[in-house]
Amino acid sequence: MKKFVTDQADGLRRLMAGNPGRLVAVLASDPADVEGVARNLVAALVQQGQEVLLLDERRGLQSTPVRRQGRLVMVHAVLDGDGTLSPLAAQADHVVVVLRANASSIKASYVCIKKLHHAHALQRLRVLVNGVTDAAEAQRILANLAQTGSRYLALALEPAGWVRADPLLAQAQRLNLAVVEAFKSSPAAVDFRQIASDLLQWPQPPARSRPPSGSANAAACHDARPVLAMH
């Protein structure tokens, strides 16, 4: 099911076949918080019959705008110091900020959201809460963030979903597998599959509301490399 892509040109050529796809940028105030989330979302999407390409901006290769016809492209995005997205991530149909269910992560994530909002004049983005005790805790965090974003930034912070704390996540990582592959009935696997299913139903935004890519700081961002194709 997995094919590691070592040739960047070949990976990007695969974006150009079939019907129009979509691009989702996933990021966090701490980029380490994104890796497991992105991998599990990709695996869950593949289980639902999607063809997905995962791009990692930490790899340091030249990033250029891509045509993503025929598949879903997920970008593990990295912001520069001003909160600017790379030219690749700035094409995203949806921007998802991942945070953990603790005060320090929530605070740092809100600072990240503010920077994103000011750098790209975003009108909306999505928030995913990782490591929650239960749905009630996640809903409380998401509701508080939505209220704060609306009141102080005039920004719609929409829920992307939540993932419950689950010791099987670490066990799956030791096996070098996504939890949705290794432990299909675990709480985290159930949550990732729900997020993936919801993601496919997110409405495509009008082109004018996507993050603009013309910022002078965009060229300074980390660049992307195709690291994993799953189909």
Q: Is the pLDDT of residue 1 over 80?
A: no
Share of the chain above pLDDT 90, in %: 62
Give one word for 121, left, alpha or beta, with left for phi > 0 and alpha for psi -120 to 50.
left
Confidence of residue 3 (pLDDT cuts 50, 70, 90): very low
- Stretch 82-86: mean pLDDT: 89
Amino acid 20: pLDDT: 58
Least confident of 4-8, 120-124, 180-184: 4-8
Q: Is the pLDDT of residue 104 over 80?
A: yes
Amino acid 211: pLDDT: 52
Q: Is the pLDDT of residue 12 over 60?
A: no
Cα 102–31–150 angle (5° rounding)?
55
Q: Which of 47, 39, 56 is nearest to 5 (CA)?
A: 56
Q: Where are the domains of the chain?
A: 2-230
pTM, two decimals, is 0.81
Q: Is the pLDDT of residue 15 over 60?
A: no
**What CATH number labels 2-230?**
3.40.50.300
Confidence of residue 69 (pLDDT cuts 50, 70, 90): low
Amino acid 64: pLDDT: 52
